[in-house]
Structure 1
Amino acid sequence: MVKEIYDLGEVINLLEMQFKTIDKRLSRYEKSISYLIKKLEKERETIYQGQESCEIRIKSYLD
C-alpha cells in the first residue's frame, strides 16, 4: 500500500479550492431556487386573478 504524505499547506489549499467550488454551486442553486420561487409566486397571482375573474363571471350569470 502506498501512502502519500502531503504538506499541510497543500492540504489547506486543496480544501480551500473545494470549499470555493461548493460555495459557487450553492450560490447557483440559491439563485435558481430564488428564480423558481418568484416564478411560482407570479403563477399563483395569475391563478388568483383567474379565480376572481371566474367568480365575477359566475355571479354575473346568476344575477
Structure 2
Amino acid sequence: MEALVLIGGFLYLGVLGFGVMGKIGHFIDGGGFIPEWDEGDAPSAADDTASLDHTKNQKDQKIG
C-alpha cells in the first residue's frame, strides 16, 4: 500500500513537471520578458544622459 502511494506521488510530480516545463517552453519561445529589437530601436547613451540632466535641473529648481 505504501508503494502505491509512493508511485502515485511520483506520477503526480511527473505530470506536474511536464506541465510546468511546457509553460516554461512557451514562455521562452515567446521571447521571455524582453522581446528582441533592432539595434536602431535601442536607446542611446546620449538619451540617458539627457534625461539625467533634465531630472537634475528639475530637482535644482525645486530646491532653489
Partner of 1:30: 24
Q: Name 1:13's counterpart in structure 2.
A: 7
Identical pairs, percent: 3
Alignment partner, residue 57 of structure 2: none
Task: Give the residue type in structure 2 aligned to 1:25.
Answer: G
Matched to 1:10, the amino acid is L
Where does residue 48 of structure 1 map in the other structure? 41
| Root-mean-square deviation over aligned CA pairs | 2.2
Q: Give the number of equivalent residue pairs.
A: 40
Q: Which amino acid aligns with 1:35?
A: D
Spell out structure 1 runs of 4+ moving beyond 6 A: none
The one-character-per-residue Cα deviations of 1:8-45 (angstroms, maximum 9, x if unpaired) are: 0000000100000011011111101111125x523xx1
Tell me the TM-score normalized by structure 1.
0.52
Instruction: Tell me, in whole angstroms, the C-alpha distance in 1 between the residues paired with 2:23 and 2:4.
Output: 29
Measure how far apart 1:48 and its partner are: 1.6
**Counting helix residues as a fraction of each chain, which structure ranks higher?**
1
